[in-house]
Amino acid sequence: MGIGTNIPIYNIRQERNENPAAFYERLCNTCKRYTDLDPEAINGKWVLIPLFIGQSYEDIRKKLQKLEGASGKNIEELLEIAMKVYDRRDDEERKKGARVLAMALREGYEE
C-alpha cells in the first residue's frame, strides 16, 4: 500500500444525505480499488474503522468520536449508532419545519 495509491481513500467524505451503510460501502470499494487491504480482513477493518469515524458527516462523526473505545468497536456497532443519528436528523428537521410553520401561522393571525 504505497502512499501514491491510497490517497483517494483519505479524500472520501460522507455526504449529508448519504446513508452511513452506503458511505461505508463506498469507503470499502475505494479501499479495494486503491489499496491492497481487504476490508473484510481484520487489518483492513483496523484501517477502515478510524476512517469511517473521521470521515463521516459532522453530526455522526461527533457522536462516534464521543464513544469510549470507538475505534475498538466492530463496524456493525458503529453503523447501528450512525444510523440512529442519521434517522434522528430527519425527525429533527421535520420538527424544525413544523415550528417554523407554526410561527409563520401565528404571525399571520396576529396581523
Structural domains of the chain, ranges and CATH numbers in brackets: 3-85 (1.10.1200)
pTM score, whole prediction:
0.77
Q: What is the pLDDT along the chain (111 residues), one digit of tens a residue?
A: 444 556 788 999 999 999 999 999 999 999 999 889 999 999 999 999 999 999 999 999 999 999 988 878 999 999 999 999 999 987 766 667 667 776 777 776 665
Q: What is the distance of C-alpha 74 from the center of its chain?
A: 15
How many residues in the chain?
111
User: How far is residue 111's CA from residue 109's CA, in Å, rounded to a whole number?
Assistant: 6
